[in-house]
């Protein structure tokens, strides 16, 4: 079997996807990053290798997410793309004609506006955690309810309560107040979903023309209560694709396929790198007033990549095989 690998490394989850030549998702791996991206990437590669046929050929690899440069260095990526590009590529492939993408992940959220098959506009919210997966996980734990039951319980509500959702702190305190007033759990959860959707549309989606088809992806798309709240607020059907939680990785794999179609051999280092020793570090360069924070990654004690320097003093020298000290 031949295909392409996509790796999406985020602050909360690390996802790997393998697509075949027909762009069908054959395998998907979803892991919690837990602050250890290198070990998680290697664990994901090992799990992916165990699921694929022994003689599978990887024809290209793409990486995305906040840890895309780190992942690209470790796996030997052919393309390294940002989240906007990757999520747009996946949604456009799985939902032809999509015009609006609502994406809510573990610690951030974004909206992507697509017109005529290309990204026309986007916005991201990386400042406030209200409405993200980590916030919902926290509230579910506080309410002593499994996160998997959050959405189905919210759907049982007959009269959602009004909860202030402008800020994560205000939303939590207001929710506690509503509990103390005696409101039922379904009404509180449904009210929280509606509050978080209002927060999303008033901040991330402010000023954006939301047209159908509308796709909802990211880990929070698993919450049917959030899906219903979006549909009520927008007055439009909201579609959750089958692989909503790994769309970034799917997009990275599709972009790798597109890149390799132009010819060349993949830089993929092989699944064996799951057993190689990698370490990450960094330092502050004092070569100029910018004081750039330079990140570096070492394989078996040898520096193999650096990034973060604005002038390229460190990264370019390493790429050219030079030593800078």
Collect all residues with Cβ–Cβ distance below 8 Å to 238 and sequence separation of at least 6: 102, 214, 215, 216, 227, 230, 231
Q: What is the CATH number of domain 96-240?
A: 3.30.420.40
CATH 3.30.420.40 domain residues, the chain: 2-88+248-275, 96-240
CATH number for the 2-88+248-275 domain, one of 3.30.420.40, 3.30.1220.10, 3.40.50.1220, 3.90.76.10?
3.30.420.40
**pLDDT for 130:** 66
**pLDDT for 15:** 96
pTM for the model stands at 0.87
Residue pair 246/30 in contact (Cβ under 8 Å)? The answer is yes
Count the Cβ atoms, other than its own, within 10 Å of residue 267.
13
Q: What is the mean pLDDT of each run of 10 residues along the chain (325 residues)?
A: 95 94 96 91 96 95 93 94 96 95 88 95 78 81 90 94 76 82 92 89 92 95 95 97 95 97 94 90 88 86 82 71 41
């Amino acid at each position: 079997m031949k295909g392409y690998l996509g790796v999406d490394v985020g602050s909360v989850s690390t996802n790997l996807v393998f697509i075949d030549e027909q762009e069908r998702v054959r395998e998907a791996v979803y892991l919690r990053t837990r602050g250890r991206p290198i070990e998680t990437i290697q664990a994901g590669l090992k799990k992916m290798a165990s699921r694929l046929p022994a003689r599978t050929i990887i024809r290209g690899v793409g990486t995305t997410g906040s840890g895309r440069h780190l992942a690209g260095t470790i796996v030997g990526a052919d393309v390294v793309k940002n989240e906007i590009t990757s999520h747009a590529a996946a949604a456009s492939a799985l939902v032809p004609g999509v015009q609006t993408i609502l994406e809510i992940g573990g610690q951030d959220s974004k909206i992507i506006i697509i017109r005529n098959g290309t990204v026309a506009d986007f916005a991201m919210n990386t400042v406030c955690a209200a409405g993200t997966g980590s916030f919902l996980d926290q509230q579910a734990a506080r309410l002593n309810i499994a996160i998997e039951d959050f959405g189905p319980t919210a759907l049982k509500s007959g009269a959602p309560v009004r909860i202030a959702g402008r800020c994560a702190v205000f939303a939590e305190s207001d929710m506690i107040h509503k509990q103390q007033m005696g409101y039922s759990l379904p009404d509180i959860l449904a009210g929280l979903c509606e509050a978080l959707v209002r927060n999303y549309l008033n901040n991330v989606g402010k000023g954006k023309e939301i047209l159908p088809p509308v796709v909802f992806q990211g880990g929070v798309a698993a919450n049917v209560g959030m899906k219903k709240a979006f549909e009520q607020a927008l007055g439009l059907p909201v579609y959750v694709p089958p692989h909503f939680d790994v769309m970034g990785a799917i997009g990275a794999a599709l972009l790798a396929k597109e890149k390799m179609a132009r010819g060349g051999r993949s830089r993929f280092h092989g699944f064996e790198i799951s057993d190689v020793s990698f370490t990450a570090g960094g330092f502050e360069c004092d070569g100029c007033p910018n004081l750039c924070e330079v990140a570096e990654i070492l394989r078996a004690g040898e520096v193999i990549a650096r990034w973060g320097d604005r002038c390229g003093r460190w990264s370019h020298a390493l790429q050219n095989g030079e030593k800078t000290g």
